Amino acid sequence: MNGHAVRYLWTLVMLPLFWGQAVRPPALGAQPSEGDLAGCALCHGNLEFLRQHSPDLPTAQRRMVSMEEIRASAHLNSTCFSCHRGFDRWPHPEGTVSLHCGSCHEEADAGWHDGVHGTPDQMGAEPVECAQCHTAHHTATLESLREGTAMRAMNGVCVGCHETSGLPQGDPHRDKVGCASCHGPHETHDVDEVHAAVAPLNQVDTCGACHEEEAEWGRSDVHGQALRQQRPVGLATLELLDGQAPPTCTTCHGAHGMSTARGPARMEQTTVCGHCHEHALETFDDSYHGQASALGSVAVATCSDCHGSHAIYGEDDPRSMIHEENLVESCGACHPSSRAAFVQYQPHADHNDRENYPVVYWSYRLMTALLVGVFSVFGLHSALWIVRLTLDTLRAPKGGAA
């Protein structure tokens, strides 16, 4: 006789003892024991019995609760009667009620009501209930949801609704960071709302929960100051500002599908920076660094190698990597023999700017004139030479001597 049959027969034998009898809840404040759960588990641990007293199989499966689930859940120290009131007799009388999770988890409930999951959306979809994310009985603990298997399982729940938002292979956050770490676990807002955890003015704090040093820089450097001055409301606002938009974390790093700091993104950063610094990108492309980068060099310096990645300051700020007092050290990271004369090199010199770069301007004009003159003279000389050879050929007597 298999295990299912044994449990079923045991239920048939014991059930009459419970018919009309009270299953006594533990005293208020007392630690629950497995005996407190045994009466409920007698029926709710037996799928065959539940199927006979349920309208269909899915309903019976929802009512199925094993002791193993309870032991492994965050509600280990609770009892069935903590959530389900009036079920202490069988058959269960009318007037029974299952309490909402918010009766215990008040702070989470308040955040849920304020977020997008707690209110009907514009299409009329019903709010997302707690059990849809946490399940009803096998509820993971808060600590386990921060990493490991439970965190990955919760991410899978999110992707079950937000199908296009799963992190692709290669993303440094994949299987390491929970969706709730960036978007909030309960007070989750639309990404374009001012209160969203990923809103422009909140990203430094959200990302800074893990990247503390970078966040500290981001609050004081030129990008952080520009962000606070313009105070964009949502991510859509940044798109409207276009090239005048101050950068946030996701502007440079992306959101879903970001690359590692030393990966391919390093060689693509000139394009990212160029969205705002168009003129600097043009002059970079004309420089040795830009041309070497265009040819595929991964060793040549790009924007962050000279200006920094987060602690970015103006060239007149002593903290800046491109301040005159710091140039020898900054350039020396790639050029060990760097000295004062070496750092006079102007990486963003504009040959069309006579006021700021007169030497480069006139050198460019002189060399251009010289090249045009040389090629013009030699081109004219070659053309005349071809004419002469052609005339000599035409004038030559045809045929051999008589």
The CA distance from 303 to 334, in Å, is 13
**Residue-by-residue DSSP string for 14-34:** HHHHHBT-B-PPPPTTPPP-H
pLDDT digits (tens, 9 = 90+) for 172-196: 899 899 999 999 889 898 888 888 9
Other C-beta atoms within 10 Å of 244: how many?
A: 10
Which residue did the predictor score with more confidence, 216 or 260? 216
Mean of the pLDDT values across residues 379-394?
Answer: 92
Which residue did the predictor score with more confidence, 286 or 263? 286
Q: Is the pLDDT at 151 greater than 60, yes or no?
A: yes
The parent domain of residue 366 ranges over 354-392
Q: Is the pLDDT at 402 greater than 50, yes or no?
A: no
pLDDT digits (tens, 9 = 90+) for 268-317: 788 888 888 889 999 999 899 999 988 888 888 889 899 988 889 989 99
Mean of the pLDDT values across residues 131-158?
Answer: 89
Q: Is the pLDDT at 3 greater than 60, yes or no?
A: no
Q: What is the pLDDT of residue 371?
A: 96
The CA distance from 336 to 124, in Å, is 64
Residue found under tokens 């920076």: 273
pLDDT digits (tens, 9 = 90+) for 343-354: 888 889 999 999
Of 46, 72, 101, which closes a domain? 101
Q: What is the pLDDT of residue 21?
A: 47
Task: Tell me whether residue 268 is in a domain.
Answer: yes
- The DSSP letter of residue 372 is H
Of these ranges, 115-124, 131-140, 244-253, the one predicted with the greatest mean pLDDT is 131-140
Closest by CA to 90, choosing from 11, 5, 35, is: 11
> Are 337 and 370 within one domain?
no
The verdict on whether omega for the bond into residue 91 sits within 30 degrees of 0, i.e. cis, is yes
Q: What is the pLDDT of residue 229?
A: 83
The CA distance from 20 to 37, in Å, is 18
Q: Is the pLDDT at 31 greater than 70, yes or no?
A: no
Task: Tell me whether residue 385 is in a domain.
Answer: yes
Q: What's the structural domain count of the chain?
A: 3
Of 101, 135, 150, which closes a domain? 101
For the ranges 24-28, 167-171, 364-368, the lowest mean pLDDT is seen at 24-28
**Residue-by-residue DSSP string for 34-102:** HHHHHHHHHHHT-HHHHHHTSSSHHHHHHH---HHHHHTSTTTTS-HHHHEES-SBBSPPTT-EE--GG
Q: What is the pLDDT of residue 26?
A: 45
Task: Tell me how many degrees the CA angle 232-235-237 measures, rounded to the nearest 5.
Answer: 50
**Positive or negative torsion for Cα 120, 126, 129, 134:** negative
> Are 307 and 381 within one domain?
no
Q: What is the pLDDT of residue 91?
A: 79
Task: Tell me whether residue 158 is in a domain.
Answer: no
Of these ranges, 13-27, 260-274, 318-332, the one predicted with the greatest mean pLDDT is 318-332
The CA distance from 364 to 351, in Å, is 6
Q: What is the pLDDT of residue 248?
A: 85
Task: Tell me whether residue 12 is in a domain.
Answer: yes
> Are 13 and 79 within one domain?
yes
> Are 278 and 329 within one domain?
yes
Cα→Cα distances 299→202, 263, 287, 326, 335, Å: 34, 12, 15, 21, 12
Task: Tell me whether residue 172 is in a domain.
Answer: no
Task: Tell me whether residue 52 is in a domain.
Answer: yes
Q: What is the pLDDT of residue 43?
A: 84
Of 101, 126, 141, which closes a domain? 101
> Are 56 and 33 within one domain?
yes
pLDDT digits (tens, 9 = 90+) for 54-100: 899 989 888 888 777 777 888 877 778 888 888 877 778 888 888 88
